[in-house]
């Protein structure tokens, strides 16, 4: 399967600031997604990153808070804007079309965000 | 609303035993089923996918699917302490690339 990398792997940020997380895949993939996983919880889908167009957001998530870009088939960014301590979480990039199964999701290593 | 239910555990088994992890789902139109392993502080790693009723084996892992009962399970034979992790069940409908994830079952394999 493809190699997925995320930067940064972790960060500690101040309230009110923004952080941009990058996701890079070593091959072209069909779809890219952004998830959030809070401590002890399962995965929550934030949005589908669409290549060349606006992302598709899930209920409870808005573009102003989580702007997403996907300029090509191997790269996407997620920005967490105007952060508060409630945004402390692990943010995960996932891709489809990177290995066995046309509908199988593979996850990047994640970005651990702490907001003070 | 599509739901995927897992017992949160922890499920504790001795080394060498068979660990049995279970998952039920609500959407009868579900067609794709996945098991992920997640070590503490790490991202989910795909273990197995299954699409047809019956068993699918890969090494020490066996996935079992029963669509009539809306039930999917994962058996781990000869459990090792390194298998200690949270196991996530994920289910998606035909044509969807976005599965619904369960909350995961914590497995502890003790020496």
Q: What is the pLDDT of residues A48-98, one digit of tens each?
A: 998 888 999 999 999 999 999 999 999 999 999 999 999 999 999 999 876
DSSP 3-state percent helix, strand, coil across chain B (nearest 5): 5, 55, 40
B63 touches chain A (CB under 8 A): no
Among partner residues A30, A101, A108, which is closest to B43 by beta-carbon distance?
Answer: A108
Q: Answer whether A72's CB lies under 8 Å from A51's CB.
A: yes
- What are the pLDDT digits (tens) for B11-63? 999 999 999 999 999 999 999 999 999 999 899 999 999 999 999 999 999 99
Predicted pLDDT at A15: 97
pLDDT value at residue A83: 97
DSSP letters for B94-110:
TT-S-PEEP--EEEEEE
B87 CB burial (10 A radius; 0-12, 13-18, 19+):
buried
Per DSSP, what are the bridge partners of residue A32?
A49, A95
Q: Is the pLDDT of residue A102 over 90?
A: no
A42 vs B34, B42, B101: nearest CB: B101
């Amino acid at each position: 399967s493809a190699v997925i990398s995320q930067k940064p792997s972790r960060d500690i940020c101040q309230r009110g600031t923004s952080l941009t997380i990058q996701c890079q895949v070593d091959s072209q993939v069909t779809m890219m997604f952004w998830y959030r996983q809070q401590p002890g919880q399962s995965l929550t889908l934030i949005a589908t990153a669409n290549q060349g167009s606006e992302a598709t957001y899930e209920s409870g998530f808005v573009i102003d808070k989580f702007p997403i870009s996907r300029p090509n088939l191997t790269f996407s960014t997620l920005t967490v804007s105007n952060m508060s301590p409630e945004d402390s979480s692990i943010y995960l990039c996932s891709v489809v079309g990177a290995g066995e199964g046309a509908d199988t999701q593979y996850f990047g290593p994640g970005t651990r965000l702490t907001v003070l | 609303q599509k739901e995927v239910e897992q017992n949160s555990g922890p499920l504790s088994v001795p080394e060498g035993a068979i660990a049995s992890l279970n998952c039920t789902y609500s959407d009868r139109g579900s067609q794709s089923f996945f098991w992920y392993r997640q070590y503490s502080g790490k991202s989910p790693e795909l273990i197995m996918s299954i699409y047809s009723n019956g068993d699918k084996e890969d090494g020490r892992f066996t996935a079992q699917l029963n669509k009539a009962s809306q039930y999917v399970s994962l058996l781990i034979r000869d459990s090792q302490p390194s298998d200690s992790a949270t196991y996530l069940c994920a289910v998606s409908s035909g044509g969807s690339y976005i599965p619904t994830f369960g909350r995961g079952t914590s497995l502890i394999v003790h020496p």
